[in-house]
């Protein structure tokens, strides 16, 4: 009798998977963005959700739950029902977990299922307009002569800009001190005032400063120049070979979400990344669609975590 019950349960589970795939989604989905409205992650999350809603045939409601460097909202998704109706849209900082937020209650790789990487934003290095030099070479030469006069801003611990700054300083050998901020906006303000002299972060937030002449751009970390500011050289062009770091964004679900639901969402996200409207909106913001599906995204995350945690550890960074 017990054997029949077990077999019956297994058979029911196998039959349930295609049924879920056929019926999902049958009601609105909520997409948690773990930051306040108006930021870069929120903006890209809304663009992605709008197109995903069209592709999957169901309303997607953005819900902003900020706090603790994105941990509060992310943990809300971890603790939610794993039925595909509560998803997470987050930035690359998320996958570093306890490496950047000591009190983080989850393991990003073990407690979530990657659905798809939506896109990425390369970085740009800005310097204050009063820093000597006319291009990358002459500016770095001037900084190298008096390195203790210059400070590098960091928008947040463990961010893409932080990791890129550590790698930049390692490659160039410049012994510059860093100043950690709570966000891009205060770092930008101090860059413009001259309290700090260098800042590297996603170009979505920094390119407007360069285009307005408020700061000088040294290079972008993309393989080709951006049409948004074609006069700014790439990292390759200034001699930093293969320096292709970026802030990237993706969609996750709770760990126990069924394969059928993950597959349905991943298929829809693949369609999003091919959508002409999505591509155009990304281009206008300097975002690059990537379209990595679950397996490729999972492998990419592991590689990112391995690389970035090594850089943070070698720099002596301590999570707050």
Predicted TM-score (pTM) of the model is 0.85
Q: Distance between CA atoms of 237 and 234, rounded to whole angstroms?
A: 5
Portions of the chain given CATH number 3.40.190.10: 122-220
Q: What is the CATH number of domain 27-120+247-314?
A: 3.40.190.150
- Assess if CATH 3.40.190.10 describes domain 122-220: yes
Closest alpha carbon to 169 in 200, 128, 139, 195: 200
Which of 260, 247, 255, 264 is CA-nearest to residue 298? Answer: 255
- Structural element, H or E, at residue 202: strand 198-202
Low-confidence ranges of the chain (pLDDT < 70): 1-22
Contact present, 213 and 207 (Cβ < 8 Å)? no
pLDDT digits (tens, 9 = 90+) for 295-314: 999 999 999 999 999 988 98
State the span(s) of the chain assigned CATH 3.40.190.150. Answer: 27-120+247-314
Mind listing the pLDDT tens digit for each residue in 147-195? 999 999 999 888 999 999 999 999 999 999 999 988 888 999 999 999 9
State the Cα–Cα distance between residues 48 and 62, nearest whole angstrom: 10
pLDDT in tens, 48-65: 999 999 999 999 999 999
Q: Are 105 and 75 in contact (CB under 8 A)?
A: yes
How is residue 178 annotated by DSSP? E
């Amino acid at each position: 009798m017990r054997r029949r019950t077990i077999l019956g349960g297994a058979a029911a589970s196998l039959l349930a998977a295609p049924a879920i795939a056929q019926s999902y989604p049958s009601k609105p989905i909520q997409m948690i963005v773990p930051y306040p409205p108006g930021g870069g992650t929120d903006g890209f999350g809304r663009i992605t959700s709008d197109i995903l809603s069209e592709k999957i045939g169901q309303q997607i409601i953005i819900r902003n739950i900020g706090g603790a460097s994105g941990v509060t909202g992310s943990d809300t998704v971890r603790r939610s029902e794993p039925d595909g109706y509560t998803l997470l849209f987050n930035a690359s900082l998320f996958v570093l977990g306890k490496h950047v937020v000591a009190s983080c209650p989850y393991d990003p790789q073990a407690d979530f299922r990657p659905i798809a990487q939506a896109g990425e934003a390369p970085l740009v290095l800005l310097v204050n307009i009063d820093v000597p030099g006319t291009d990358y070479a002459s500016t770095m030469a001037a900084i190298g002569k008096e390195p203790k006069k210059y400070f590098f801003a960091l928008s947040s611990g463990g961010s893409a800009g932080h990791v890129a700054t550590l790698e930049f300083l390692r490659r160039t050998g410049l012994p510059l001190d860093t100043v950690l901020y709570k966000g891009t906006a205060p770092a930008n303000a101090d860059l413009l005032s001259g309290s700090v002299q260098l800042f590297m972060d996603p170009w979505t937030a920094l390119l407007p400063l360069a285009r307005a002449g408020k700061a000088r751009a040294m290079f972008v970390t993309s393989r080709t120049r951006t049409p948004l500011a074609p006069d700014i050289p790439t990292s390759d062009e200034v001699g930093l070979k293969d320096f292709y770091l970026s802030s990237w964004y993706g969609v996750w679900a709770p760990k126990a979400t069924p394969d059928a639901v993950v597959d349905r969402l991943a298929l829809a996200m693949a369609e999003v990344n091919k959508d002409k409207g999505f591509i155009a909106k990304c281009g206008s913001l300097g975002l690059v669609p990537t379209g990595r599906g679950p397996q490729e995204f999972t492998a990419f995350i592991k590689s990112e975590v391995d690389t970035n945690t090594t850089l943070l550890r070698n720099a002596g960074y301590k999570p707050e």
